[in-house]
Structure 1
């Protein structure tokens, strides 16, 4: 081919094509990862992987189409790549608008024809940008001849750099704007590919780039991005959103009810003693990716209403430990911190995966949390739980892990796709390494009461505790575990595990706590079932 990129010539591939392919690959990987983040919020995260499938479908289909219809290559390689890059830019914007404007409820696609139609629409609009990007890259590779290894090198470099840059771009622009940024990169690749060989295509891409730049600011604000109605945050649609931000980890929202702060629900609804009739402190919700919610209680100077946390299932570990030093994994809105303070913890360390959540509870909404985190004996770290445990030289009396996943995720088998590595034998061994010899691992979760369903999650956590204890050489692990819950349909429960056997005094103290608060012992060592 000639320097104008005409098929059939032996002239070298124009250098502009190398740059164009680099940018196309960079854009494709960026938009793929950005779509994963958007779908994790809008629909359940295990549906988010459709972006990977559709990217593969688009690329595979484009290669097949070029093989079946060589006329798609066109008379000029540079012109064709420039045109397909422009189509990628336009269809990326269309895709974002459709996803942002058309809510999808994926669990209804087999019972509701409208949802099935929307599901097909999602598949179509998501696959189109990948299809045309695949066409452009396929044409370039086909024309590269002996330079194909060099072209493939720049393809791989672009893809790798796209994976790295998208994280920074999301933190800077937030996820929807990253999709618009990708459209800009597609247009830029079209400008470079077309060059002087196809001035009309080049100028069209330049105009498109200007339009994209104009839209990068306002367009995301015009799109509602309504999550599926079976996600937790849908209950707050039309209410008050105090804060919302997309990051590379989550989309984080702080929500509440319009006109008044919520007081009914939260920990008052799940796990509280039936005999407690005291004041209910107001709270807001911090929601990650629309599904995993954490309660942020209002902290007043007199800490009104926190008496309830002396009559709750989550109080259980403090029944057998006085003035403990506590590590909380998954701080969320800070409810576990309040429970620890209310029950006399001498020092509290927290590890929270989401830096935005840490900033919300410690700084941005400091007035709401009453400056609780300013106390010298409370320190919250933005860190992944197991990494923090492995890197710290501190030792603790209690490690508390409460609701770092949802009952829906546990029950649906979602961790078949992505295991939660906080709940493995190796993780428990890590926890025991930073616990003092008589320290206590406390796992709080929701489960079904045996009268209403099979309590699979409690059994799972107990089983992992037994396996970890056996790894440590414990011969009678049943003497090292307690399970305390509330006698209701879906209940909050605590699974307590020690390296040392629970003493008779500890078991008796737990029995008194259970009786005084009308809770239920699902399992206590050396006690009848």
Structure 2
């Protein structure tokens, strides 16, 4: 029979509550980080794939714990001490599998029967790797719940507090250390529960310490591995990436291609940074560019707002066509940093031109807060994903555009001269 919560020594309850809190942080951090990693490796709509596998792993762990009388007979804290380091190992191994598994999911739909079967098998291996991570996390938490059901309300409360903190930290952590490091740090935190609980209980647990040390070393090694993008993506493992990083919006990788630098957004060609110095040598391409059409209609020296300025091509076009002032808004901070710093000389510091106000932020919010009027408001390819290949285009019907709403159109019209 379970011991009533009120009769448990505080020293016995607190480790359980602290463990529930850590599990809450770890589980949400892992889930959010994996949605970003899979968006880069495969495609953004596989986010639902990750969420489903996370729920499967957590649910399976609950079922196993509930059905196993052997597990329920072990003291919860002692059980967690044994399981947590193993769960940390699963998390590191799972990450390595996901990161390095070569895939070409396009072949599932367009390849031969053998190719489709092979890619489906690889996708299944990846699914098992992700499910295994969350199975380990779930096993730790359900061991606490089933082993001491009378503390359920408090355990669940602290688990929710941890999950809320994991959500709050997700965006800053993606910008600071990136999703791969989030996964690996979570693995180390999970494994460390073993020796931490042993210390609280004043018991020696050299095995838990050894496994945790192995997880730490494995995480450091795994952190050096690149995440392989699917072969359907335009970014290749053989490409020389000049600069780039993970961000909360998408990962950006800059690869030189002739007279321009291609910006791959989550592994797909998303934008470009062109070599620019304001002379004919770098602006002649705009002579036959369709971008000149709206400028022919608005007259001399227009004031322009560019939403989605990305690598600055539209800024260069606007300057070439005689814009007197340009507000250029770009959502992704990684792209903004690349244009301002790494490729500043490459573009002759075009964003520092006195006619240019290059802003990192949300275009809709910027426009709503602005009192300025413009001759031209330029939405740069907000629905360009619709032109993706046939294997991926259909899924983009799920992608809602907040720039194509009635309110946004009305706001834009209100800001036109």
- TM-score if structure 2 supplies the norm length? 0.90
Closer, same or farther: CA 215–394 of 1 in aligned 2, 3 Å: farther
Q: State the partner residue of 2:68.
A: 69
Residue in structure 2 matched with residue 334 of structure 1 by the alignment: 312
Q: Shift of residue 430 of structure 1?
A: 2.0
Question: In structure 2, how many angstroms separate the alpha carbons of the residues matched to 1:298 and 1:230?
Answer: 28
- 61-70 vs 28-37, which deviates more? 61-70
C-alpha deviation, 1:345, in angstroms:
0.5
Note the alpha carbon deviations across 1:228-262, whole angstroms, 9 max, x for none.
Answer: 1112223xx423311121122211110124xxx2x
Q: Quick one: distance in 2 between partners of 1:424 and 1:325? A: 23
Q: Higher Cα Rg: structure 1 or 2?
A: 1
Q: Is the CA contact 1:24–1:189 (under 8 Å) kept in the aligned structure 2?
A: no
Change (3 A) 1:340 1:239: same
Pick aligned residue for 2:178 from 171, 174, 177 = 174
Counterparts of residues 373-452 of structure 1 (less than 5 Å): 373-404=351-382, 405-408=384-387, 412-436=393-417
Instruction: Please list every run of 5 or more consecutive structure 2 residues that lacks an aligned counterpart in the other structure.
Output: none
Residues 315 and 403 from structure 1, CA distance in 2 versus in 1: closer, same or farther, beyond 3 angstroms?
same
Cα displacement string for residues 335-370 of structure 1 (whole angstroms, at most 9, x for unaligned residues): 111110111111011110111111111222111001
Instruction: Indicate whether 1:308 and 2:289 are aligned.
Output: no
- C-alpha distance after superposition, 1:21-48 (max 9, x if no partner): 1101110110111101101111011013
Deviations 1:373-405 (A, max 9, x none): 221110110011111111222211101112233
> Using a 3 Å threshold, how does the CA distance of structure 1 residues 301 and 47 change in structure 2: closer, same or farther?
same
What is the correspondence of 1:189-208 to structure 2 with a 5 Å cutoff? 189-195=193-199, 197=201, 199=203, 202-208=205-211
User: Structure 1 pair 216/130, CA: closer, same or farther in 2 (3 Å)?
Assistant: closer
Contact 2:3–2:150 (Cα < 8 Å) also in 1: no
Matched position secondary structure for 2:264 = strand
How far apart in 2 are the matches of 1:427 and 1:28? 36
- Tell me which moved more, 190-199 or 109-118: 190-199
- Going by fraction, where is helix more abundant, 1 or 2? 2
Alpha-carbon distance between aligned partners in 1 of 2:103 and 2:239, rounded to the nearest angstrom: 20
- Offset of residue 107 of structure 1: 2.7
**Cα separation, 2, equivalents of 1:123 and 1:19:** 30
Q: CA deviation at 1:152?
A: 1.1
Q: Which residue of the partner structure matches residue 234 of structure 2?
A: 232
* DSSP-derived class of the 2:148 partner: helix
Determine whether 1:243 maps to 2:224: no
1:293 equivalent in structure 2: 270
Q: Looking at secondary structure, tell me which structure has more strand per residue.
A: 1
Tell me how far apart the structure 2 counterparts of residues 393 and 226 of structure 1 sit (CA, whole Å).
45
CA contact (8 A) 2:195 2:208 kept: yes
Using the alignment, how far apart are the partners of 2:372 and 2:218 within structure 1?
49
> Aligned ranges for residues 479-494 of structure 1 at < 5 Å?
none
Structure 1 partner of 2:148: 144
Partner of 1:363: 341
Aligned to 2:169: 165
Q: Deviations over 1:273-316 (max 9, x none)?
A: xxxxxxxxx21111211125101110135241412213211211
Q: Deviations over 1:158-211 (max 9, x none)?
A: 1110111232222222221111100111022233344455845x4433333334
On the 8 A contact 2:304/2:325 being kept in 1, the answer is: yes
Q: 1: distance between equivalents of 2:138 and 2:198?
A: 17
The one of the two structures with greater contact order (alpha-carbon pairs below 8 A, sep at least 6) is: 2
Q: Structure 1 residues 229, 408: closer, same or farther in 2, change over 3 A?
A: farther
Check conservation: 1:74, 1:80, Cα contact below 8 A.
Answer: no
Deviation at 1:214, TM superposition (A): 3.8
1:13-162 to structure 2, matched below 5 A, reads 14-109=13-108, 111=113, 112=115, 113-162=117-166
Question: Matches of 2:98 and 2:51 in 1, distance apart?
Answer: 16
- State the Cα RMSD in Å: 2.1
CA distance in 1 between partners of 2:103 and 2:145 (Å): 37
SS at match of 1:286: strand
Instruction: Check conservation: 2:274, 2:313, Cα contact below 8 A.
Output: yes
Q: TM-score when scaled to structure 1?
A: 0.72
Alignment partners' CA distance in 2, 1:292 and 1:383: 21
How many residue pairs match? The answer is 403
Q: Which residue of 1 aligns with 2:188?
A: 184
Residue equivalent to 1:349 = 327
Q: CA offsets, 1:475-506, max 9 Å, x none?
A: xxxxxxxxxxxxxxxxxxxxxxxxxxxxxxxx
Tell me the SS of whatever aligns to 1:109. helix
SS at match of 1:332: coil
Tell me if structure 2 keeps the 8 A contact 1:36–1:48. yes
Contact 2:385/2:396, CA 8 A, preserved across alignment: no
1:132 Cα shift?
A: 2.1
CA distance in 2, matches of 1:370, 1:303: 14
